[in-house]
Chain A
Amino acid sequence: MHEMSLVQGLLGQLHELAKEHNKEKVISVSMEIGPFSGVVIDSFQFGFDILARDDALTREAILLIESPPALYRCCSCGMEMKAEQRPERCRHCSETLLSPVGGDDLVLRQVEME
């Protein structure tokens, strides 16, 4: 459950941003969480719901999470394929060795404050 400590880090970052821009309330937070980031989106959302409500700055904040689809590259022919779950074989050449491509991002994109 490292999502809790990641949410704590996020709240710390929001406090810094609010101070920097002289704002008192966070309205919305947009995040990108990649499919290979090792972060469970539901757990992250759950952690945010608990911790943000305890904090005057973020009490009413909405958390928006976008997760791009997982992308795999065939180790034999190089074909890239999007998939919800790891494909058993390459759709082009039937190779079974497929490498995940990128998708490990855990990015705070934008914050709306007032």
Chain B
Amino acid sequence: MCDACGCDLKPEEHSHDSRVVEVHQSLLAANTAMAKKNRVHIEEMGAVAINMISSPGSGKTTLLEKTIEALGGSLRIGVIEGDIETDRDAERIRAKGVPVIQLTTGGACHLDAAQIHKGLHLLEKEEGGAQLDLLFIENVGNLVCPATFDLGEHHRLVLVSVPEGPDKPAKYPKAFHSSQVFIISKTDLLPYFDFPVEEAKAEALQLNPDLQVMALSATSGEGFEQWLDYLKEVCAH
């Protein structure tokens, strides 16, 4: 440490005509502040928000389609879709008759709070989008980058499908220790893949002992009741 000004450089590395400014601020401070505003905005809409994180192709959109089919009659559901390109996911959700908007990040590997801020205003303009019970935010398919950005959600959900293999929690720890719920999806494919469910659950719990773990198939309906009960419970609070 430099004795003259207390900065981290060695004395020979700089002159003292310069000025050291103490900042001590998170690089994510702007995102976190915006996320806080989003959370208030979402609560004013009456909703609980769930941020869904997974690799591409884990079944996030299919899970949403089946969830809307099961609960769309009793809960007001809205969806913000995040993808790098196309509005195909939003089209699938729109076909289920709930308000949805598509955010395309144009190459960025994650959604951030500023995009969600914009998304909330767009969603409010959709028919039925201003008052909701449940808001799903389907993040860009990526198990790494989305984990760093608070969007203003109330719950974070990480999803791994059976064909991806059971070692995701160990390989991508941040997504698992920043989430409250871990869903193992496509369990109807268990006969065809080597996916020891109990081992995967135990490994995820080692990373985050507070995780609520569910195994389900949106196609066969196996384990789906537990998921629907969970959603009803978070909306009741």
Contact = CB atoms under 8 A, between A and B. Distances in A.
A38 B144 contact: yes
Given A28-B8, A30-B8, A111 B144 contact: no
Q: Residue among A30, A37, A111, A112 with the most chain B CB within 10 A?
A: A112
Contacts of A23: 19
B23 A114 contact: no
Given A28-B7, A114-B17, A100 B177 contact: yes
Interface in B138-187: 144-145, 147-149, 173-174, 177-178
A8 to B, nearest CB: 10
B14 A27 contact: yes
Nearest to B142: A2
B122 to A, nearest CB: 22
Contacts of B24: 107-110
Contacts of A112: 7, 9, 14, 18-21
Chain A's interface size range is: 35 or more
B152 to A, nearest CB: 18
B27 interface: yes
Contacts of A114: 15, 17-19
A81 interface: no
Given A30-B7, A112-B20, 12 more contacts: A1-B109, A2-B145, A9-B27, A27-B9, A28-B14, A37-B148, A38-B145, A38-B178, A39-B148, A86-B206, A100-B177, A111-B21
Given A110-B20, A112-B18, A113-B19, A38 B174 contact: yes
Contact of B28 (A64, A97, A106, A111): A106
Given A9-B27, A38-B144, A97 B7 contact: no
Interface of A: 1-2, 5-6, 9-10, 13, 17, 21, 23, 27-28, 30-31, 36-39, 62, 64, 66, 75, 86, 96-100, 105-114
Interface in B164-218: 173-174, 177-178, 205-209
Nearest to B110: A2
A25 B205 CA distance: 48
Interface string B1-42: 000000111000111011111111111101000000000000
B8 to A, nearest CB: 5
A23 B17 CA distance: 11
Given A27-B18, A36-B177, A37-B148, A105 B26 contact: yes
Contact of A6 (B15, B27, B144, B177): B27
A73 to B, nearest CB: 10
